[in-house]
Amino acid sequence: MNAIQSRTEYFFNEGVVSNREYPPGYTVKSISEQIGILQKYFGDIITDFSFDEEALKIQCPEGYDGKYALINWKALGKSYEDAVNTTIKACARACGNNFVNRREGALGSDRLRWIEEDQRVWELICAKQNNNVIIIVPCQTGLLHRGRSAKEVRLKIKKTKKEFGLNLLDVLSIIITHKNRFQSDTDLRISCIGNKYSPGANDCCPQHPSLYFDNWAGINLLTINSQSYAASGPATAFNPYFNEAS
pLDDT at 239: 97
Distances, alpha carbon 103 to alpha carbons 52, 107, 221, 229, in Å: 35, 7, 7, 20
What is the residue-level pLDDT of the chain in tens, covering all 246 positions?
333 333 334 344 566 888 899 999 999 999 999 999 999 999 999 999 999 999 999 999 999 999 999 999 999 999 999 999 999 999 999 998 799 998 888 788 888 999 999 999 999 999 999 999 999 999 999 999 999 988 899 999 888 889 999 999 999 999 999 999 999 999 999 999 999 988 876 666 678 899 999 988 889 998 877 666 788 999 999 999 988 765
pLDDT at 13: 56
Q: What share of the chain is helix, strand, coil (3-state, %, to 5)?
A: 35, 20, 45
Question: Over the stretch 181-222, which tens digit does the pLDDT of each residue have?
Answer: 999 999 999 999 999 988 876 666 678 899 999 988 889 998
Residue 245 CA, distance from chain mean position? 20
| Spatial contact of 196 and 150, defined as CB atoms under 8 Å apart | no
User: How do the domains of the chain map onto residue ranges?
Assistant: 27-239
| Spatial contact of 66 and 27, defined as CB atoms under 8 Å apart | yes
Q: Residue 189 phi/psi, 5° resolution?
A: -75, 160
| Spatial contact of 35 and 69, defined as CB atoms under 8 Å apart | yes
Judging by beta carbons within 10 Å of its beta carbon (0-12, 13-18, 19+), is residue 2 exposed, middle or buried? exposed
Strand partners, 134: 71
Distances, alpha carbon 236 to alpha carbons 32, 91, 94, in Å: 22, 20, 23
Q: Residue 41 phi/psi, 5° resolution?
A: -100, -15
Distances, alpha carbon 124 to alpha carbons 47, 119, 142, 162, in Å: 24, 9, 23, 13
Identify the helix (H) or strand (E) that includes residue 80.
helix 80-95
| Spatial contact of 11 and 228, defined as CB atoms under 8 Å apart | no
Residue 131 CA, distance from chain mean position? 19
pLDDT at 6: 33
pLDDT at 9: 41
- The one-letter amino acid at 109: S
